[in-house]
Amino acid sequence: MTDQSLAAPRRRPPPPRPPLSLSGAWNNVAVRGWVYQAIVVLGVLGTGVFLIGNAQDALSKQGISTGFGFLTQIGGFDIGEKLIAFGSNDTFLRAYAVAVLNTLKVAVASVVLSTVIGVLVGVGRLSSNLLIRRLASIYVEVFRNTPQLVQLIFWYTLITALPRPRDAISVGGVVFLSNRGLLLPWVDTDASLLAIGLAFVAGCIGAWAVGRWAEARRRASGVRHSVFGWQLALVIGAPLAASWMTGASYTLSIPVLRGFNFRGGMALSPEFLALLLGLSLYIAAFIAEIVRSGIQSISRGQIEAARTIGLGPLDTYRRIIFPQALRVMIPPAAGQYVRVVKNSSLGVAIGYPELFSVNNTIVTLSGHTVEAIAIMMSIYLAISFVIAALMNLYNHFVQIKDR
Amino acid sequence: MAPICISSAKPTHAPPRPPPQRTDSWSHWLRRNFFQNAGSAVMTALALWALFVTVPRLVRWAFVNAVWYTQDAADCHAAAGACWAIVPEKYRVMLFGTFPYEEHWRGVLVIAIVLGLSALSTIRRLWSYWLCVAWLVATAAVFTLLLGGVFGLRPIGTHEWGGLPLTLVMFVGTVVGGIPAGILLALGRRSKMPAISALCVGFIEIVRGLPLVTVLFMASLMFPLFMPEGVTIDKFLRAQIAMTLFFAAYAAEVVRGGLQAIPRGQYEAADTVGLNYWQKMTRIILPQVMRIVLPSMMNEIIRAFKNTTFVGIIGLFDVLRATSTAIQDPVWVRYSIEAYLFIFILYFVLCFAMSKYSERVERDLAVGR
């Protein structure tokens, strides 16, 4: 017995190859997979060709030429709110640029505002104070459980129901809220924004480098250097120095009532304001939940360990809880920011000229429905994918480095 | 610090320790919850001040000085508070939109059927095949009531549908069509066949990268263009298809999360006992997946309900759009805020109920794990 079992196991002969037959091939998983895929791909392609053929027939019958040539034609319409100059003598292409900038303007403002509110409410939901906890959860439940469009239209109705400019609600005589929107004091300047912006970026990089240096010193010597003052000086000082060197002049412009409307200051239109509130208050409720679950995902042991080695509450937050919670929070938060950009298209309901509503005008005026929709969709997809890619990159840096 | 006593003998000179602090007194509760430290006390003070400033004003506006019922807008104009009278005045337009006035009873029945059956569906003891049958019967009844043309009911075209019946039908249609489509898309995405998986990934990612309004807009403008001559799909159906496809892309990602959470052993065991692909999926994998993804699927369903308001942008008269139309009346237009608040509360009640139910189901399911 032992002899035989110790001997090399007898190799079984390979199974006989199935005869080359149709049914044999059909029973082969790989062959069947290819057949299925061929059917699906052909079906999709066929449907596509059929639909596009129909569209071409319909368009040629209506005598509409296809192509993107219309982009360089004069639009002949005006856009109420714009960051770059635009008038009825400008092309459709420039109209798209105005629209995209308007979309980005409201999206960036909403991302900032919703993050601030979301973090405050999210931390508030974990507060030891019962009143704050309750208020924060009421906020989340109310804003999460109602449609964004209803909220948006509600804000817009509320803003347009505000008093006229003459009876505007004033804060300290410099900020005015009326049915024409929000008026803020602003600085009029002829300074080169590029130089100041570059100086600001340089200051930020400098502050970061100082922080790195201090951290490296602390690790090497155990001595803490307080460099916060230096960092602040760099971030604020660099743009100031740049504006002083370029010799720019500044005048504070405070809004004043002239006749029926305000002059001076910075005006936020009712449409912009309503869209900003509608986007950020809604998304903030979701960000708050992300922040809450992110902080709650830190195990108690981490906090207890931090306390054991003598970290104060602030350091515990800054060095232990926050870096770890951030890893959990980044991916869902990125999803919410993409949602802000996409939902800015609701501006069409209140007449804010963002990409979707300007595109509607372009469709009507140019008649190039298919091309215009294709351009609009590509822009939205590009913005979504860029945000997703940036967040993935960031995520890559903050993820736990496995050995 | 007192020296640590290692001996287990009780030192005779130790003074008796005070009794532990009572933790059940109201003063302790107050201190722990509102004045634990200086920061907490400041927050309490600030919150109380904010409430003190806003709540009395709100109560005066919404209740004390409000006009609850009048047929004359001048009464509202005279009052300092809210004009809730706009709701009894306009509720038929707000809730039924463009639905023919004398046929509103059919809309009421539709609302009752959908809400009633939804409420019954939350009772777990009733979960059985009979519930599916009931939903099928209800669907038939809803469409008979809305479309008419049989049993002596006047035919009503989908272009006349509006208000809450439209919102509810759109919502139920989206979910009922979108979940199976989402499951198929998720299975396709995880498929080993490269062409099928690429198609599903492409569809899911493109749809998820687009705003819903653009998808609806495309459906309303481009569908007619792509159809062969003479074939027309009406606006409601176009919006319904767009909503369903949009929901399916999001549902697919939820289901994919569940598919990835199932341990490999389950797949391998199913292969070992000789089940084919569909048997493996429908009998082994998907039942477990649906259990795992129920909470996140409920979130998507609630979102789909909120998203039904978007169809107003392409010109269907859902509750929100119907309300906007109802308050166009120049006599009542100054009281739009009250009308929108009413709609706000209506949506809130429905969504809040769904989200609370989903939380309960999540808790109950967690018990067995």
Of B193, B210, B310, the CB nearest to A149: B310
Residue-level pLDDT at A358: 92
Nearest Cα residue to A135 out of B46, B36, B354: B46
Best CA proximity match to A270, nearest among A170, A163, A112: A163
Q: What are phi and psi of A182, to 5 degrees?
A: -105, 130
CB pairs < 8 Å spanning A and B? 151
Question: Which residues on neighbouring strands pair with residue A257, listed in sequence order?
Answer: A262
What pLDDT, on the 0 to 100 scale, is given for residue A3?
52
Q: Which secondary structure element, helix H or strand E, spans residue A217, and what is its range?
A: helix A193-221
Any domain includes A359: yes
Q: Nearest CA to CA, how far is B319 from chain A (Å)?
A: 10
Domain ranges, residue B139: 86-367
Residue B248 pLDDT:
96
Give the pLDDT of residue B269: 94
Closest to B320 (Cβ–Cβ): which among A131, A150, A342? A150
Is the residue at B259 inside a domain? yes
From chain B, the residues in CB contact with A360 under 8 A are 217
| Residue with the larger pLDDT of the pair A175 and B6 | A175
Residue B179 lies in a domain: yes
Higher pLDDT, A363 or B10: A363
pLDDT digits (tens, 9 = 90+) for B120-166: 888 888 888 888 888 889 888 888 888 877 877 788 888 888 889 99
Whether the predicted pLDDT of A16 surpasses 80: no
Residues of A in contact with B43 (CB under 8 A): 127, 129, 131-132
Residues 104-123, chain A, touching B (beta carbon < 8 A): none
Q: Is A240 helix (H, G, I), strand (E, B) or coil?
A: helix
Per-residue pLDDT at B309 exceeds 70: yes
- The predicted model gives A340-347 an average pLDDT of 93
B124 touches chain A (CB under 8 A): no
CA-nearest residue to A136 within chain B is B47
Q: Which of A37, A152, A352 to mutate to test the interface with B (most CBs of B within 10 A)?
A: A37
Both tokens of A352, joined, read 């804010």
Determine, yes or no, domain membership for B80. Answer: no
Distance of CA B35 to the CA centre of its chain: 37
Give the Cα separation of B186 and B182 in Å (integer).
6
Q: Are A317 and A356 in contact (CB under 8 A)?
A: no
Query: Are β-strands A186-189 and A250-253 bridged in parallel, bridged antiparallel, or unpaired?
Result: antiparallel
H/E segment holding residue A271:
helix A270-296
User: ipTM score of the complex?
Assistant: 0.87
Across the interface, do B210 and A55 touch by the CB < 8 Å criterion?
no
Nearest to B209 among A58, A149, A385 (CB): A385
Q: Residue A273 above 60 pLDDT? A: yes
The answer to whether the Cβ–Cβ distance between B336 and A157 falls below 8 Å is yes
Q: Which residues 135-194 in chain A show a CB within 8 A of chain B?
A: 135, 141-142, 144-151, 153-154, 157-158, 161
Q: Is the pLDDT of residue B30 over 80?
A: yes
Q: pLDDT by residue (tens digit) across B170-196?
A: 999 999 899 999 999 999 998 888 889
- The residue type of A109 is A
Mutation target among A45, A131, A143 for the B interface, most CBs of B within 10 A: A131
Q: Which residues of B touch A349 (CB under 8 A)?
A: 312-313
pLDDT tens digits for range A213-263? 888 888 888 777 778 888 888 888 888 888 777 776 777 777 777 777 777
> What is the structure's pLDDT at A403?
46
**A317 to chain B nearest CA, in Å?**
16
Q: Is the pLDDT of residue B115 over 80?
A: yes
Q: Which domain holds residue A357?
A: 92-167+269-398
pLDDT at A47 over 80: yes
What's the DSSP call for residue A128? S
How much is the pLDDT for B186?
94
Q: Do B344 and A150 touch (CB under 8 A)?
A: yes
Name the residue with higher pLDDT: B249 or A186.
Answer: B249
The DSSP code for A91 is B
What is the SS3 string spanning chain B? CCCCCCCCCCCCCCCCCCCCCCCCCHHHHHHHHHCCCHHHHHHHHHHHHHHHHHHHHHHHHHHHCCECCCCCHHHHHHCCCCECCHHHHHHHHHHHCCCCHHHHHHHHHHHHHHHHHHHHHCCHHHCCHHHHHHHHHHHHHHHHHHHCCCCCCCCCCHHHCEHHHHHHHHHHHHHHHHHHHHHHHHHHHCCCCHHHHHHHHHHHHHHHHCCHHHHHHHHHHHHHHHCCCCCCCCHHHHHHHHHHHHHHHHHHHHHHHHHHHCCHHHHHHHHHCCCCHHHHHHHHHHHHHHHHHHHHHHHHHHHHHHHHHHHHHHCCECHHHHHHHHCCCCCCHHHHHHHHHHHHHHHHHHHHHHHHHHHHHHHHHHHCC
Using pLDDT thresholds of 50, 70 and 90, give the confidence band for residue A7.
low
**Which chain B residue is nearest to residue A156, measuring alpha carbons?**
B337
Residue A1, pLDDT score: 46
Beta-carbon separation of B36 and A151 below 8 A: no
Q: Which of B168, B186, B187 is nearest to B176 (CA)?
A: B168
CA torsion B67-B68-B72-B73 (nearest 10°) is 50
The Cα–Cα gap between B217 and A364 comes to 13
Give me the sign of the Cα torsion angle B71, B77, B78, B80: positive
Residue % of chain A over a pLDDT of 90: 31
- Does pLDDT of B334 surpass 70? yes
Across all residues in chain A, what is the average pLDDT? 84
**3-state SS, residue A53:** helix
Q: Which amino acid is at B175?
A: V
Interface test with B, best of A144, A317, A339, A387 (most B CBs within 10 A): A144
Of B334, B337, B347, the CB nearest to A146: B347
Is residue B26 less than 8 Å (CB to CB) from chain A?
A: no
Selected for mutation to probe chain B from A139, A146, A363, A375 (highest B CB count within 10 Å) is A146
For residue A370, give the chain B residue with the closest CA: B222
| B307 interaction partners in chain A (CB closer than 8 Å) | 147
Instruction: Assess if residue A71 is contained within a domain.
Output: no
A398 shares contact with chain B (CB less than 8 Å)? no
Residue of A nearest to B347 (CA): A146
Q: How far is CA A17 from CA A22, A34, A35, A53, B274, in A?
A: 14, 20, 21, 47, 22
Q: How far apart are CA A93 and CA A75, in angstroms?
A: 9
Total structural domains within chain A: 1
B325 touches chain A (CB under 8 A): no
- Is A131 in Cβ contact with B229 (below 8 Å)? no
Edge to edge, the sheet with strand A266-268 lists A169-171, A175-178, A181-184, A266-268
Q: Cβ–Cβ of A131/B48 closer than 8 Å?
A: yes
Nearest to B193 among A37, A153, A385 (CB): A37
How is residue B360 written in tokens?
């309960």
The stretch B282-298 carries a mean pLDDT of 89
Name which of B208, B213, B228 is nearest A345 (Cβ-Cβ). B213
Read off the CATH number of the domain in which A145 is found. 1.10.3720.10
Tokens of residue A15, six digits: 């199974």
Whether A150 sits inside 8 A of B340 (CB atoms) is yes
In angstroms, the separation between the Cα of residue B41 and the nearest Cα of chain A is 8
Q: Give the A window 16-75 contacts with B, CB below 8 Å.
A: 33, 36-37, 40-41, 44, 50-52, 54-55, 57-59
Dig out the tokens for B224 from the structure.
């007619």
- Quick one: average pLDDT of A180-193? 76
Q: Flag whether B236 is in a domain.
A: yes
Question: For residue B343, which residues of chain A lie inside 8 Å, CB to CB?
Answer: 150
Q: Mean pLDDT across the stretch A193-209?
A: 86
- Contact between chains at A149 and B194 (C-beta distance less than 8 A): no
Q: Answer yes or no: do B36 and A128 touch at CB < 8 A.
A: yes
Of B196, B221, B313, the CB nearest to A37: B196
Is A203 inside a domain boundary?
Answer: no
Residues of A in contact with B352 (CB under 8 A): 141, 145
Flag whether A285 is in a domain. yes
CB A37 within 8 A of CB A31: no
Distance (Å) from the alpha carbon of B209 to chain A's nearest alpha carbon: 5
Q: How confident is the model at residue B367 (pLDDT cuts 50, 70, 90)?
A: low
Min Cα–Cα distance to chain B from A154, Å: 6
Q: Does residue A91 contact residue A258 with C-beta atoms inside 8 Å?
A: no
Nearest chain B CA: its distance from A174 CA (Å): 23
For A161, A165, A390, the CA distances from A180, given in Å and listed in that order, are 10, 7, 37
- Token pair 């714009």 is found at A82
The stretch B5-26 carries a mean pLDDT of 74
- With a pLDDT cut of 70, the percent of chain A lying above it is 94
What pLDDT is attached to residue A91?
87
* Residue among B47, B309, B313 minimizing CB distance to A132: B47
Q: What is the pLDDT of residue A337?
A: 92
B2 φψ region: left (φ > 0), alpha (ψ -120 to 50), beta (else):
beta
Please check the confidence at residue A45 and state whether its pLDDT lies above 50. yes
Which distant-in-sequence residues (6+ apart) come within 8 Å of A333 by Cβ? Answer: A115, A287, A290, A391
The count of structural domains within chain B is 1
Task: Tell whether B344 is within 8 A of chain A (Cβ).
Answer: yes
Q: What is the four-CA torsion angle of B67, B69, B74, B75, rounded to 10 degrees?
A: -50
Cβ-contact B363, B356 below 8 angstroms: no
Within 8 A of A376 by CB-CB distance, chain B residues are: 214
Domain membership flag for residue A139: yes
DSSP letter (8 states) at residue A310 = T
pLDDT at B303 over 90: yes
CA atoms of A373 and A386, how far apart (whole Å): 20
Alpha-carbon separation of residue A354 from A94, A98, A272, A389 (angstroms): 13, 8, 10, 23
**Lowest-confidence region among A79-88, B108-117, B211-220:** A79-88
Q: Is residue A352 part of a domain?
A: yes
Task: Identify the pLDDT of residue B9.
Answer: 64
* Residue of chain A minimizing CA distance to B215: A377
Q: What is the mean pLDDT of residues B224-245?
A: 85
CB-based contact A363 B221, cutoff 8 Å: yes
